[in-house]
Structure 1
Amino acid sequence: MEGVRPLLELQGVAKAFGPRLLFRRIDVALMPGTLSLLAGANGAGKSTLMRVMAGLTKPDSGTVLRRVPDERLGYMAHATFLYPGLEAEENLLFWARAAGLDHPGERAKKALETVGLARHAHERAGIFSRGMAQRLNLARLLLAEPSLILLDEPATGLDVSSRAMLMELMLKARSRGAAILWISHDTAGDSRHADRVLTLENRSLREEAGGLS
């Protein structure tokens, strides 16, 4: 990847909550066409680190260099960012228009088909199961074909077939050049699909090769 710049780069990043230091001197780069897992114990600061990467939380020190525009950043957190009173397709239309995407109707229909929710397009999101809501949240993320994808435990609430679909979609995004960082609660199973595993422990980030390396 000579001459290719990272889509996201952290240099000497640190974050604390009051007297509690979560992490310090974090140096990491997310390159195009890679899938990285982020692992660590509960409370280690994984979600906070991802929020720093997404620009939702400011680091206490260090630099965050993001080389993609906001509309090409896909961030999937524990909250689904869905409006329960709107139909599935209406939710996607809202987000597509808010992002200024062209052909919002076509994008919404395609995203629903991709995640297997086309027949539920006109059902209110508020009646969806956790798994269906997570699929719709994934459809929201895919609307703009993001080049930088940050996933915070995206498989939560998904059954086996849905988890397989999620991984397949992320591998397709990787093949088109996206950089993906995935906080996984199944590191052992997911690492065989990843280029590397980043483990947050003792306030530092440790890197090891994944199954695709």
Structure 2
Amino acid sequence: MDPVIRLRSAVALVGRFPVLAGVDLDVSPAEIVLLQGANGAGKTSILRACAGLLRVVAGEACVLGVDLTGDARAVRRRVGLLGHATALYDDLTVVDNVTFAVRASGADRAGVAPALAHLGLTGRLPRTRVAALSAGQRRRVALATLVARDPELWLLDEPHAGLDAEHRDLLDELILAAVGRGRTVVLASHERHRAHALAGRIVTVAGGATAPAVPATPGDAASAGPPVVADPEATSVA
């Protein structure tokens, strides 16, 4: 079976600045892969490249059968990226934000109402402008957008950030349910106990490159320790 993601010596630039400097990564269908590494290691850049938002200028990069070194637009409707920023429109209501994203991706609008209900966005909240929401509510709207679209590939950058304990547990359930439907998930997270418990494989990222992947084991979460913060001088990689 062809991999969902295949990167070989992938290089990406922002301007003339290298943010990926030789990434090798294979991700199989219905797999959960955790990207781990210090702040600034390149995890976000890998996710953005796989979403077709950061151009790969050298090496091999193929996502869902699309060559990202060419025109990456063909992959964007099939991929969902939940980043640090929620990418919502403040002047639109909750339901309009989710509906717009679903229509733009060509997904079925029938998934909007169930997604909102699943994330607890009920009552007056669907008709509330996003500008009036708390940070946690915004995060739930962004998650509802992802759930409503249900893309083939879920790319999650610190997905538990801004969520309370109840919704962190719910997010874990949503991730496992997506994989049960045949979706593929790649996430970067400092919530190490949660992320290690979810992932079937761990890939370490440093300096914009990847180390060989290792299987996740139950002992990984127990021994993970606190997050590692990058050297302040080593901020050259996004």
Q: TM-score by structure 1 length? A: 0.89
CA gap 1:42/1:108 in 2 versus in 1, 3 angstroms: same
Distance across 2 between alignment mates of 1:19 and 1:66: 24
CA gap 1:93/1:17 in 2 versus in 1, 3 angstroms: closer
CA deviation after TM superposition for structure 1 residue 36, in Å: 0.8
| 1:77 has 2:74 as partner | no
Match of 1:117 in 2: 121
Match of 1:95 in 2: 101
Match of 1:38 in 2: 35
Structure 2, unaligned runs of 5 or more? 66-74, 219-238
Report the secondary structure of 1:121's partner residue.
helix
Q: Is this contact kept in 2: 1:109–1:118, CA < 8 A?
A: no
Distance across 2 between alignment mates of 1:135 and 1:211: 29
Give the alignment partner of residue 151 of structure 2, picking from 119, 132, 146. Answer: 146
List per-residue Cα deviations over 1:53-97 (Å, max 9, x = no partner).
111111231121111643221111111111112211111122222
- RMSD over equivalenced CA pairs, Å: 2.1
The residue identity in structure 2 corresponding to 1:165 is L
Structure 1, unaligned runs of 5 or more? none
Distance across 2 between alignment mates of 1:50 and 1:40: 13
Distance across 2 between alignment mates of 1:177 and 1:165: 19
CA deviation after TM superposition for structure 1 residue 16, in Å: 4.8
Q: TM-score by structure 2 length? A: 0.80
The residue identity in structure 2 corresponding to 1:109 is A
| 1:126 has 2:131 as partner | yes
Q: Is this contact kept in 1: 2:51–2:76, CA < 8 A?
A: no
Within-5 A mapping of 1:1-213 = 4-16=1-13, 21-67=18-64, 69-102=75-108, 104=109, 106-119=110-123, 120-206=125-211, 207-211=213-217
Distance across 2 between alignment mates of 1:18 and 1:132: 34
CA deviation after TM superposition for structure 1 residue 198, in Å: 1.0
Report the secondary structure of 1:143's partner residue.
helix
Instruction: Count how many residue pairs are aligned between Structure 1 and Structure 2.
Output: 208
Report the secondary structure of 1:60's partner residue.
strand
Identical counterparts, % of pairs: 32
List per-residue Cα deviations over 1:90-115 (Å, max 9, x = no partner).
1112222222333x2x3211110121
